[in-house]
Amino acid sequence: MAAAGALAYGFWPRLDGYRDTLERQRRVLSADPTLLDLIRMSTLAANGHNTQPWKFHVDEAVITILPDLSRRTAVVDPDDHHLFVSLGCATENLVIATGVHGRPGDVSVESGAEPGIAIAIGNGPRRDDPLYETIPHRQSTRSAYDGLPVVPDDIRLLESAAQQDGVSVLIFTEPAQCDAISEFVVAGNTAQMQDPAFVSELREWLRYSPARAVSTGDGLFAPCSGNPVVPEWIGPLLFKAFFTQDAENRKYRDHIRSSAGIAVFIGDRADPQHWINVGRSFERFALQGTALGIRTAHINQPIEVSAIRTEFARWLGMPDARPDLVVRFGRAPSLPMSLRRPVETVIV
């Protein structure tokens, strides 16, 4: 399926409804945006399977981001780890956008089983933040990259953007290290592809036609992964024919070999507060990458399969840690951007 990537561009002229929706959702904010406008920026954040597992509650000058547990992915994410990382990504976008517009956000994470993230919106001077303008342009770019290194100065900028309390980011650029991580990705991918529950959950979030992607406003639209647009009824047939263990493992090895490096994000503890901070750290890393023309894509398989995660932590030299995200980076042309649900529908 990945080989069909180039076709995605050829199909763009047929995506008019998709394009209009995309442009509406990603338009820049006016100088004096409403809280709803700022929340739209928040929803452009990275999030697992593009389920958008969030709800926003606005009470005077406090925006609370709440988990939407009806959008859990119980197979790939049984403890809601990805879900809280995704809420962290949305938090970071919101805080960047409010700061730029002179409405600085003060973040506190509520306690409890389903903690919300309360962001008290204050008043202050408008703040320049070069990451702000990149919010509508950041994307997960699941294609082969150009195979060239990223210069050390840019790697330092990525590391510095990702600094966050309670989060470590390890960067690997040596080919031998990346090859070793590639084998963990392949082991994780093999386990997932042999698990019918994983495949079935993934299929629920695939969108093959622009019409379906626009009508749900969520999920993984084929061209965003470098695959062609097809009628919705043909998609499952193609999926069955091309989504094979060998083809996917080959694709991941090739994609990692084409990347400049791999970043691993690790929270100091395995709890929602730390997962949210991991999300904030990753989102800043990805936005800084976008500012530098550096793309990112998740290769989380080593941390999604718990037995492999333990071995991966040992390989990292951190046997007691829970690695949270694995992300490759490098340079490549963009792929089509993903959609979001209309912002009005995520307000509760």
Binding site for ligand FMN (CB under 6 A): 46-50, 82, 85-86, 89, 139-140, 142, 220, 297-298, 300, 338
Least gap, CB of 72 to ligand FMN (angstroms): 12
Q: Which is nearer to ligand FMN, 62 or 190 (CB)?
A: 190
Compute how many other C-beta atoms are within 10 angstroms of the C-beta atom of residue 320. Answer: 6
Distance CA 345, CA 56 (A): 9
Q: Which residues contact 91 (CB under 8 A, 6 or more apart)?
A: 42, 65, 107, 117, 119, 276, 279, 280
The answer to whether residues 239 and 43 touch, using CB atoms and an 8 Å cutoff, is: no
Report how far apart, in Å, the C-alpha atoms of 343 and of each of 85, 148, 302, 337, 348 are.
20, 38, 33, 17, 11
Report how far apart, in Å, the C-alpha atoms of 325 and of each of 122, 163, 309, 341, 344 are.
32, 15, 11, 25, 30
The answer to whether residues 78 and 304 touch, using CB atoms and an 8 Å cutoff, is: no
Least gap, CB of 275 to ligand FMN (angstroms): 8
Task: Name the pairing type of β-strands 295-298 and 206-207.
Answer: unpaired
Q: Which is nearer to ligand FMN, 121 or 297 (CB)?
A: 297
Distance CA 163, CA 293 (A): 20
Least gap, CB of 39 to ligand FMN (angstroms): 16
Indicate the length of the chain as a whole number.
348
Report how far apart, in Å, the C-alpha atoms of 142 and of each of 53, 222, 241, 322, 327 are.
21, 11, 20, 24, 11
Q: Which residues contact 262 (CB under 8 A, 6 or more apart)?
A: 171, 172, 177, 178, 181, 256, 299, 326, 327, 328, 329
Q: Which is nearer to ligand FMN, 56 or 282 (CB)?
A: 282
Q: Which is nearer to ligand FMN, 139 or 273 (CB)?
A: 139
Q: Which is nearer to ligand FMN, 72 or 103 (CB)?
A: 72
Q: Which is nearer to ligand FMN, 100 or 278 (CB)?
A: 278
Task: Name the pairing type of β-strands 220-221 and 206-207.
Answer: parallel
Q: Which is nearer to ligand FMN, 67 or 104 (CB)?
A: 67
For the record, the structure tokens of 261 come out as 């490096």
Q: Which is nearer to ligand FMN, 103 or 255 (CB)?
A: 255
Least gap, CB of 46 to ligand FMN (angstroms): 3
Q: Which is nearer to ligand FMN, 101 or 328 (CB)?
A: 328
